[in-house]
Structure 1
């Protein structure tokens, strides 16, 4: 009888020992699995970081990050003569597709002379964001096909979406100055149009284009002139 009790106790102890070993083994496997998963996750994150770093390193970074006034391309737009800007505009191009091909937008400064104005036009692909630095003028826009004139001055921001007819005029007694961004920074856009019609300061303006040729040049560079109504 005592022998049977002893045998039962030994068997119970053996069973508990085996169960403990099995549970411990499972815990180690789970631990190893978690460590493996963590290692895979870490590797995956490392790959992403390395990939991101690699992507950044493939950019040329040849474009200037800090631009001074002397870095700009300066043009006279519709000057009165080679010696006088008059009611024309002084354009300073800081960023365009040539200087900053990886940039999302172009960036320029424009000074419109006293009494100056741009013809009403629209851009099918380009949006513009302008900030007025000084001077006084009016912005021409359309709401429900109704022409609207809004007075603008220092501190005003002007946004124009693609497809919207617009223009602006200098109504003050000093140049109307603004900086503006063009999005996207694409070739054959507004800045390319200005490059084609503008001249370097002190250069004789060119008047060789006919009205039809001028309109085509504008259209080819996403600047569509508003048809003039004849009463």
Structure 2
């Protein structure tokens, strides 16, 4: 009888030990699984992180984040001759669809010579934001079809919405300097027009376009010239 009780106790102990080993093994497997999952998750995150870094690196080579003055494209707009800018304009293009295709805005600097003016025009798709750096001039726009002239100088900001007739003139005795943004930064826009009619400093200006051809070139690049009034 005592022997049987002893055998039963031994069997119970063996069963408990076996169950403990099984449970412990299951726990280790769960921990291993968790660690494996954690490892996979970390690996996945690292891959995404590396991919993100790679994308940014690739994107940074698409267009320059810092553009130096010497990197800007310089053009003479309507110069008097290949050696003299005169009342024409010096355009420096820092950002355009070609150099910064992913940018939402183009960005340039313009210096209008003494006595210079741009013809009245509008843009059907483009809005402009200009900041005057130095010089004195007048901005021309329309309110309720009434022509309005506003004096502008250093520190003034000028906004032009799509569809608004506008222009500006240099009324001072020094170049009228401004920087301006064009939105959107689209091909066949204002900057493309200037690139097609402008020349590099020192190059002979081209005067081969007729008035009709010039107006079409302007219109094709979202610069619509205001029709002249015939009295």
* CA deviation after TM superposition for structure 1 residue 59, in Å: 2.8
| Cα distance in structure 2, aligned partners of 1:227 and 1:4 | 119
* CA deviation after TM superposition for structure 1 residue 34, in Å: 16
Q: 1:137-178: per-residue Cα shift (whole Å, max 9, x none)?
A: 000011111111000000000011111110000000000000
- From the superposition, tell whether residues 19 and 195 of structure 1 become closer, same or farther in structure 2 (CA, over 3 Å): same
- From the superposition, tell whether residues 10 and 228 of structure 1 become closer, same or farther in structure 2 (CA, over 3 Å): farther
Q: TM-score of the superposition, structure 1-length normalised?
A: 0.77
SS in 2 for 1:115: coil
CA RMSD of aligned residues (A): 3.8
| Cα distance in structure 2, aligned partners of 1:154 and 1:136 | 8
| Cα distance in structure 2, aligned partners of 1:119 and 1:134 | 21
Q: Single out whichever of 17-26 and 61-70 deviates more from structure 2.
A: 17-26
* CA deviation after TM superposition for structure 1 residue 77, in Å: 0.3
- From the superposition, tell whether residues 32 and 148 of structure 1 become closer, same or farther in structure 2 (CA, over 3 Å): farther
- Which residue matches 2:127? 127
* CA deviation after TM superposition for structure 1 residue 25, in Å: 21
Q: 1:55-89: per-residue Cα shift (whole Å, max 9, x none)?
A: 64663533111111111111110001111111100
Q: TM-score of the superposition, structure 2-length normalised?
A: 0.77
Q: 1:96-128: per-residue Cα shift (whole Å, max 9, x none)?
A: 111111111111110000000000000011111
| Cα distance in structure 2, aligned partners of 1:25 and 1:149 | 88
Q: Single out whichever of 40-49 and 29-38 deviates more from structure 2.
A: 29-38
| Cα distance in structure 1, aligned partners of 2:131 and 2:4 | 100
| Cα distance in structure 2, aligned partners of 1:164 and 1:144 | 11
In the alignment, structure 2 segments of 5+ residues that lack a partner are: none
SS in 2 for 1:208: coil
Q: Single out whichever of 199-208 and 35-44 deviates more from structure 2.
A: 35-44
| Cα distance in structure 2, aligned partners of 1:223 and 1:42 | 54
- From the superposition, tell whether residues 3 and 94 of structure 1 become closer, same or farther in structure 2 (CA, over 3 Å): same
- Which residue matches 2:64? 64
| Cα distance in structure 2, aligned partners of 1:230 and 1:72 | 41
In the alignment, structure 1 segments of 5+ residues that lack a partner are: none
- From the superposition, tell whether residues 32 and 92 of structure 1 become closer, same or farther in structure 2 (CA, over 3 Å): same
- From the superposition, tell whether residues 230 and 17 of structure 1 become closer, same or farther in structure 2 (CA, over 3 Å): farther
Moved over 3 A (4+): 1-58
Residues matched between the structures, number: 231
Q: Single out whichever of 4-13 and 186-195 deviates more from structure 2.
A: 4-13
